[in-house]
Amino acid sequence: MNSFIVMQGDTYQIEKDLGMIWSPKQDKGGNEPHSWKRITEVNEGDQFFHYVKGNIVAVSIASEGCKEACKPSNLESSNERIEGYLVNLEYHDLEVPVNVRDKFKEIFPLLPIKYAPFQKDANGNPGYLYPCNEELAIKLLELISELNIYQVNDEQLELTIDEVRRTERNTLIPVITETESEAKTKMRWGEQKFRKDLIPLWKGKCALCAINLSEVLKASHSKPWKDSTNIERVDPYNGLLLCSNHDALYNEGLIAFDGQGRLHISSVIRNEDYVMYGLAPRAKLQIYFENKVYFKWHKKYIFRT
C-alpha cells in the first residue's frame, strides 16, 4: 500500500460524487507535470488524503489501479475530449476536517524535501497528486483519529451512549486501523532489514568511535526515510552504523561526511566541545563507493554548516 495527498479544491465535490479522481495526461504545452503523471503509480488498495482549501477533508481507498480515461463529462467545461488517467475510489468524509495550518508543527518535519504537498508557510503546493511517505501518513491518520474517533472510558460509558453509537457506525475506524497498521508494518520491516544488512558493512561498530555494544548502536539513514524511494530505504549503503550520540548528531545535521569519507562538523558545535562529543576534526572513514551518493545528499540537504 502506498499513500498520496490529492489537492482538489473546487473539483472535490464532483470527484467525490463520481467516486474517483482524474488527471490529464499532458498540459497545453505537451508536458507531463509530475503531479499529474503520478496517478499512473496508483494500485488497488492505495490510500488517499483529500486536501481542500487548507483542510484534509476525507480519506479514500483505491478500488482498482489507474486506468486511461477521457475527462468525465461532469468535469468538462467544453466539448473537447481530453485524454487522461482515472482511479476509482471509496471516499470517507471526515466529520471534523484536519486543518493543516493548525497542525503544521507536527506535519512539517515529516515533509520530504522534494515533491512536498505543502509549502513552508503551510499553504498547499500547486499541482494535483503528491506522494505521502509512511511517517507522514501515520501522523495524518493520528490527527484524523483524534478529531473523528470518539474514545470513551468505563466511567463515561453510561453517559455517552449516543457517542458510542456514532462511533460504532463510523466507517473511518476500519479504514484507519487497517491502513495505519499496514504503514507501520512496512516501516518496521524496512528498518529491520536496513539494520540487519548495515551491521556487517561496519563490522558491528560505531563508524566514529568504535563502540560495539549493539544495544546503543543505531542504523542511521543518510537520506531519510521520508525522502527515499522504496529501494533507497532498505539500501544498506544509504547510511552507517553509529552509537546513539553520533546518530543524533548525524540525524540533526550537526555532522556529515563527504564523498571521500571525511568528517565535517557543523559550526553549531563549538571547537572546545569536540572532545565532549567524541569528534575528531580530521577523522576519515573507510567508505564504500556506494556510500558516496548518499553522503553527498546528506551533506547538501541535512548538514548545517
Taking only the tens place, the pLDDT of each residue in 258-275 is 999 999 999 999 999 999
Mean pLDDT of the residues in the chain: 91
pLDDT band at 162 (very low <50, low <70, confident <90, very high): low
Eight-class DSSP state of 284 = B
272-290 pLDDT tens trace: 999 999 999 989 999 999 9
Within 8 A by CB and 6+ apart from 17, the residues are 74
Quick one: pLDDT at residue 169?
52
Asked if residue 212 has pLDDT above 50, the reply is: yes
Distance (Å, rounded) from C-alpha 145 to C-alpha 172? 9
**Computed over its alpha carbons, how large is the radius of gyration of the chain?**
23
- Whose cell is 558516496? That residue is 292
The closest of 121, 126, 127 to 107, measured between CA atoms, is 121
Lowest mean pLDDT among 6-15, 96-105, 152-161, 167-176: 152-161
Per-residue pLDDT, 159: 47
Q: Is the pLDDT of residue 299 over 60?
A: yes
What structural domains does the chain harbor? 3-148 (3.10.590.10), 191-301 (no CATH)
Task: Kindly report, residue by residue over 194-209, the tens digit of the pLDDT.
Answer: 999 999 999 999 999 9
Higher pLDDT, 81 or 233: 233
Q: What is the DSSP string of 225-280?
A: GGGS-HHHHT-TTSEEEEEHHHHHHHHTTSEEE-TT-BEEE-TTS-GGGTTTTT--
Helix, coil or strand: residue 68 = strand
Distance CA 142, CA 163 (A): 19
CA distances from 142 to 55, 94, 177, 181, 225 (A): 15, 13, 10, 12, 19
Torsion-angle region of residue 76: left (phi > 0), alpha (psi -120 to 50) or beta?
beta
Question: CB 188: neighbour CB atoms within 10 A?
Answer: 11
Measure the CA–CA gap between 9 and 13, rounded to whole angstroms: 9
Q: Cα separation of 148 and 129, whole Å?
A: 24
Q: 67 — phi, psi (to 5°)?
A: -140, 155
Question: What pLDDT is stored for residue 81 in this prediction?
Answer: 80
